[in-house]
Chains A and B, each alone.
Chain A
Amino acid sequence: MSEEEKKDYAESPINLEYHYTAGSATTRFLNQVKEGKIVGQSCPKCSAVYVPPRGSCPRCGVATNIEVPLTDKGCIESFTIVHIPIPGNPIVPPYVCAMIRLDGANISFLHLIQGIDVEEIRIGMRIQAVWKPKDEWTHSLENIKWFTPIDEPDVDVATLRFQES
Chain B
Amino acid sequence: MKKVAIVGYAQHPILENAGALNEVELIMPVVHQLFDELGISQNNIDFTCSGSCDYLQGAAFAFVEGLSAIQTNPPIKESHVEMDAAWAMYESMLKIQMGDADTALIYGFGKSSPGRLDSIISLQMDPYYISPLWPDRVSLAAIQARVLLEKNIITPEQMITAVIEARTNSKNNKNALVTELVDKESYLASEKISSPLNEFDCPPISDGSSAMIIASEEKAYDFTDQPIFIEGIDHRIESSNIGSRDLSKPTGIMASIEQLKLEKTKFDVAELHTQFSHEVPYLQSVLNLSDVPTNLSGGPLVGNVMMCAGLDAIGKTYESLKSNDLTNGLAHASSGPCLQHNMLVHLEKKS
Contacts and interface: CB of A to CB of B under 8 A. Distances in A.
A116 interface: no
Contacts of A106: none
B113 interface: yes
A58 B75 CA distance: 11
Interface stretch (A10-18, A80-88, A140-148): A10-18
B115 A18 contact: yes
Interface in A80-123: none
B225 interface: no
B120 A54 contact: no
Nearest to B123: A14
A62 interface: yes
B114 A56 contact: no
A56 B68 contact: yes
B25 A61 contact: no
A23 B132 contact: no
Contact of A12 (B70, B119, B127): B127
A66 interface: no
B71 A60 contact: yes
A46 B22 CA distance: 23
A56 B28 contact: yes
Q: Which interface residue of A46, A58, A62 has the most chain B CB atoms within 10 A? A: A58
Among B25, B65, B114, chain A packs the most CB atoms within 10 A around the CB of B25
B40 to A, nearest CB: 13
Nearest to B119: A16
B22 A61 contact: no
B31 A55 contact: no
Contacts, number: 79
Nearest to B131: A12
B254 to A, nearest CB: 35
A24 B21 contact: yes
Interface residues of A, number: 26
A55 B22 CA distance: 9
**Of listed A14, A21, A26, A63, residue having the most chain B CB within 10 A:** A21
A22 interface: yes
Contacts of A12: 127, 131-132
A17 B71 contact: no
B293 interface: no
A25 to B, nearest CB: 7
B69 interface: yes
B28 A63 contact: yes
Contacts of B55: 16
A59 interface: yes
B22 A59 contact: no
Interface of A: 10, 12, 14, 16-27, 46, 54-63
Given A23-B24, A55-B22, A60-B71, 15 more contacts: A16-B58, A17-B116, A19-B115, A21-B21, A23-B20, A23-B25, A24-B25, A27-B20, A46-B73, A54-B65, A57-B68, A58-B67, A59-B73, A61-B28, A62-B32
Interface of B: 18-22, 24-25, 28, 31-32, 42, 55, 57-58, 65, 67-73, 111, 113-116, 119-120, 123, 127-128, 131-132
